[in-house]
Structure 1
Amino acid sequence: MLLGILGIILSLVTLITLAYRGMPVILAAPIASVVALLFSGAPILPAYTEVFMPAMANYVGSYFPLFLTGAIFGLLMTVTGFAESIARTVTGWIGTRSAMAATVITSALMTYGGISLFVVAFVIYPIARELFRVGDIPRRLIPGTIALGIFTFTMTALPGSPQVQNIIPGQFFDTGPYAAPVVGTVGALMIFGLGMAWLETRRRRLVAAGESFSDARNDTPAGHASAGGGIGVEARMQPTGRVLPFLPLLTVIGVNFLCTLVIFPAMDWSFLQQETYGGIAYSSRAGIWAVTTAITVAILLIIALHLKRFEDLKKAMYEGTRQSMLPIFSVGSEVGYGAVVASVAAFAVIRDGVMNLGTNALTTSVIATSATAGITGSSSGGMTIALNALGPQLRQMAEAEGTSLEIMHRLTAMAAGGIDTLPHSGAVVTLLIVCGLTHRQSYKDVFAVTLAIPVLVVAALVAAVSLMGLA
């Protein structure tokens, strides 16, 4: 048994090391799985085909619509010029002197509006760079500023977020994307406020030390792709007016809200108990259906507004489809790795140890999710692995304790968006590449706003709801 536990630990080290050195997770995860299997004595090939692949396929089958529609929506917002127009409008409202706030708010609007996180990073960077140049703000702060807008409160805390990180807990707790709105809103405001305070303090200190925008090296990032994801700038359109570009984002938010709280609950879903549909519960799929519907309606709206340029839109849809593949299969590969680890005998010891920490269901869920998200460097992958292994037990424990499953949903999602941004995180590495900066230059600020602050906020909220008797 001790050898099996050692194998699990070494497999985690292998995964982190390979990911940090740039190997795609879709390859690193199977390799790390082999390490765990070798030490446990389990057969490798059967484990790959009968454990790893079904878990990966299940994740892809469940969440592919969100990745696909999110990527297509993001590319359409880019080629139509809507995304850039939104950024410039928000900047006009706030002012170039508040370049950091404008960048965070614009990134947050796009993320909460349903655009894929990675697409937002590519879209917002050129605009943020220009804002920072005009304001003569040190360039090293750009990654942290963008990360605060896309990797934190709009991803996991704000109720109704269409990002997959806010949908996953609902599959295990039978909750919706608007779960625990008060707790989520308070958490979002805390993360936003503390994050902005950190960035502003850093700006003042760096400027006082004599650093300016032009001090950072690699002014033109190598390998930086156009925000259009391969579609040339010449394909961009010029949107008219300041209101029109916001309509697709408002559509996602509005349709998601209506589907979740009005339309879907009023429908008869009893037919889902038929064998054809696997006897699934409506509550376990409502979040995915609502968000997918909302983004699809927004895509159709963009197409309707630009019918004369349909060929350009078609190219963007093809490119969005292509771009959706690697992210979901990468996360799916991590989920497959988690399934393999969970299948070895030694994992039962670890699982029982986590369940016997002596804490309540909420704290156990937060700790387990944070740990797996940190290990995998993925919020969605880590949360899926943790809840696949412990979800049923956590739900039973919560119901026995009288813990609100909605609060479990919200704080588990927020916990996944904390330690997931360690240096080996694919999201962090991608963002730094987009910005043309290094870990040494910018990771300190990314760490502060996406890891340290969210972890502190989640800990404070867990303590608060526990004191109020809600957990």
Structure 2
Amino acid sequence: MGLLGLLVGLALLVLFAFRGWSVLLLAPFAALVAALFGGEPLLANLTQVFMVHAAGFLAQFFPIFLLGAVFGKLMDDSGAVTSVAAFMAERLGERRVILAVVLAGAAVTYGGVSLFVAFFVIAPMARSLFRAASIPRRLIPAAIVLGTSTFTMSALPGTPSIQNAIPMPFFGTTPFAAPGLGIIASLIMLAAGLWWLHRAEAAARRAGEGYGDDIEGATERAAADELVRERATTAREFDPAELQHGQRSERPSPVWSAIAPLIVVVTVNLVMSLVVLPRLDVSYLAEQRFGETTLAAVAGVWSVAVALTAAIVTTIALNRARLPALRRTMDAGANASVLPAFSVASLVGFGAVVASLPAFAIVRDWVLAIEGGPLVSLAVATNILAALTGSASGGLTIALDALGQTYVELGARTGIAPALMHRVAVIGAGTLDILPHNGAVVSLLAICGLTHRDSYFDIVMVGIATSLLALVAVIALGSALGSF
């Protein structure tokens, strides 16, 4: 009965989340259903397991949600994201429209701009470019996904995405874990994704397929759609409803002041991770008032938080004249972080209840027995949970909460570096999360005025197929050569 309850709870979570029910309600309800079937005490599971682990997730990662959302909103309202996208389009020209859209998305998301900010800015630009080049608009979502939701989310060393931050406390790693493998994975995703998009473009031209008809007002309707909002905030770290608040600049930011904060994020993150923090005397962390922790457990989050703070200060300093309502912009950014953070924390609480049930031992033993060793089983676990929850961050945290310590011990026994496990876990979570019910996919299609029938196959090829290919390469190289 315990295993049945686990499956029923998970099925309820997936089914009703897909129908647009709030995860804030669904996750505790599904967790209690699983506990009920297992004959476990309900109130104790709610207050001592679900809430404790959800609160623990917020305690660790809310600073990144908060600072990332504020930074994204500042970049949006100052016109900086628009300037970066326009710069890419101008430099690459009409003959390389797909590449321009992909690189514009990659530049802003690797620089720390929230995914949904990038969606709402880049989609209108992509429509204009694709229309001028007579490329089918059904390829726009795939081009945006390739640039924003693949290698810059999970593979590029130092990416400030929440997905790249989640494994750091578990494995004692930094955002730059396994940098060589991350770069190789990024190149595989980018090259394979561009190959597929150019192949699709060529096939469309041979068939005489042009841009097609636009749906007017799709972006504006998507921003106000509550169903899109619920799914979006489960998937990533920005509440799209807040994009309508604050006040956008009437003139775009100069490209140099738009790019500078993005460079600051990467540079400060690198310096903090590899130079500053390792040289600090942080023996005070062993004190009870600081949680009796270690630098390895907090360094990654500290690095990203400082990098985003530096980028926020840089953005305000360089674009103050283009932020006519600074307080409202920052308030909107702060508010945009709350619902996503609590949604993912609720998924974490659900996972904690499931992992505490005696029946979960069957699932754990099955995962650990998967052929191919710890790296393969870790990749399978993160893939499955990200697919079921429709959230890379939620699935990754559930997997590591339940199995993280086990994999640390396995790594120590088998000689697998924590950095390698970090990179495999993050890339694994960023593959099958892009299933049809994923909030980012649903939101992007709504923003572009397209349907799953129109564009989802191409999203699968650039988002799932390329990431799986990169994941296989990282596991193979890591198994043969170790972490590098």
TM range (shorter): over 0.9
1:320 aligns with 2:320: no
State the alpha-carbon separation in 2 of the partners of residues 120 and 222 from structure 1: 15
Mapped partners of 2:32, 2:288: distance in 1: 36
Matched, 1:164 2:178: no
User: Alpha carbons of 1:26 and 1:428: their partners in 2 closer, same or farther (altered >3 Å)?
Assistant: farther
- Correspondence 1:393 to 2:391: no
* Contact 1:19/1:425 (8 A) holds in 2: no
Letter in 1 for 2:244: G
Amino acid paired to 1:438: T
Cα displacement (A) at 1:465: 2.5
Amino acid at match of 1:153: F
**1:210 CA drift (Å):** 3.0
| Partner AA of 2:65 in structure 1 | F
Q: Does 1:344 align with 2:357?
A: yes
- Range 376-385 or range 361-370, more displaced: 361-370
Equivalent in the alignment of 2:234: none
1:443 to 456, 459, 463: 456
Deviation of 1:311 after TM superposition, in Å, equals 5.0
- Quote the residue 1:431 is aligned against: 444
What residue in structure 2 maps to residue 111 of structure 1? 109
Answer whether contact 1:140 1:216 (CA < 8 A) is retained.
no
Q: 1:185 aligns with which of 183, 186, 193?
A: 183
Measure the CA separation in 2 of the matches of 1:441 and 1:6: 37
Residue 273 (structure 1) aligned with residue 282 (structure 2): no
Match of 1:230 in 2: 244
- Tell me, which stretches of 5 or more residues in structure 1 are unaligned? none
Alpha-carbon distance in 1 for matches of 2:253, 2:382:
44
Tell me if structure 2 keeps the 8 A contact 1:71–1:321: yes
Equivalences for residues 132-171 of structure 1 within 5 A:
132-171=130-169
Q: Partner amino acid for 1:229?
A: L
Matches within 5 A, 1:72-471: 72-215=70-213, 220-221=218-219, 223-225=221-223, 229-231=243-245, 235-239=248-252, 241-308=254-321, 312-468=325-481
Distance 1:400 1:383 in 2: 23
How many angstroms does 1:66 deviate by? 0.8
Structure 2: distance between partners of 1:43 and 1:135: 62
Aligned equivalents of 1:288 and 1:197: distance in 2? 35
Counterparts of 2:291 and 2:253, CA distance in 1: 47
What is the SS of the residue equivalent to 2:135?
coil
Aligned to 2:236: none
String of CA shifts for 1:401-431, please: whole Å, max 9, x gaps: 1112211111111111001111111221122
Residues 161-192 of structure 1, C-alpha deviations (whole Å, 9 max, x = no match): 11111111111111111111110000000000
1:16 to 3, 14, 20: 14
Structure 1 contact 224–434 (Cα < 8 Å) conserved: yes
Distance apart, 1:84 and its partner CA: 0.5
Q: Which residue of 1 aligns with 2:57?
A: 59
Q: Is residue 79–residue 313 contact of structure 1 (8 Å, CA) maintained in 2?
A: no
Aligned residues: 468
Matched to 1:430, the amino acid is S
SS of residue in 1 equivalent to 2:363: helix
- Once residues 386 and 467 of structure 1 are traced to their aligned partners in structure 2, the CA distance between those partners, rounded to angstroms, is 25
The one-letter code matched in structure 2 to 1:206 is A
2: CA distance between counterparts of 1:466 and 1:203?
Answer: 37
In structure 2, relative to structure 1, the CA distance for the partners of 1:19 and 1:212 (3 Å cut) is: farther
Q: Is the 8 A contact 1:402 1:470 kept in 2?
A: no
Which string of whole-angstrom CA distances, capped at 9 and with x for unpartnered residues, describes residues 303-340 of structure 1?
22244566512111011111111111111111111011
CA apart distance, 1:232: 6.9
- Closer, same or farther: CA 216–207 of 1 in aligned 2, 3 Å: farther
Q: Give, in angstroms, the shift of residue 295 of structure 1.
A: 0.9
Higher alpha-carbon deviation: 236-245 or 13-22: 236-245
Give distance in 2, aligned partners of 1:220 and 1:157. Answer: 31
Q: Which residue of 2 aligns with 1:30?
A: 28
Q: How much has 1:152 moved relative to structure 2? A: 0.7
Of residues 355-364 and 109-118 in structure 1, the stretch that sits farther from structure 2 once superposed is 355-364
- 2:107 & 2:220 partners in 1: Cα distance? 28
Q: Which digits, 9 at most, give the CA deviation of each residue in 1:350-371, with x for residues without a partner?
A: 1122223354222221111111
Cα distance, 1:258 vs. partner?
Answer: 0.9
CA deviation map 1:185-236 (0-9, x unaligned): 0000000000111111112223333322224656735623398801476x31
CA 1:440–1:217: 2 relative to 1, 3 Å: farther
Q: Which amino acid aligns with 2:357?
A: V
Report if the CA contact (8 A) 2:5-2:38 is conserved. Answer: yes
C-alpha contact 2:268 2:306 (8 A) present in aligned 1 = yes
Residues in 2 aligned to 1:54 and 1:369: alpha-carbon distance in whole angstroms: 22
Residue identity (%): 43
Provide the C-alpha distance between the structure 1 equivalents of 2:425 and 2:269, rounded to a whole number of angstroms: 21
* 1:4–1:39 contact (8 Å) kept in structure 2: yes
Q: Bigger shift: 119-128 or 31-40?
A: 31-40
The answer for the alignment partner of 2:228 in structure 1 is none
Contact 2:249 2:324 in 1 (8 A): no
Q: Which residue of structure 1 aligns with residue 233 of structure 2?
A: none
SS in 1 for 2:117: helix
Contact 1:94 1:102 in 2 (8 A): yes
Change (3 A) 1:357 1:343: same
Amino acid at match of 1:142: I
Matched residue SS, 1:421: coil
Cα 1:27–1:293 change in 2 (3 A) is same
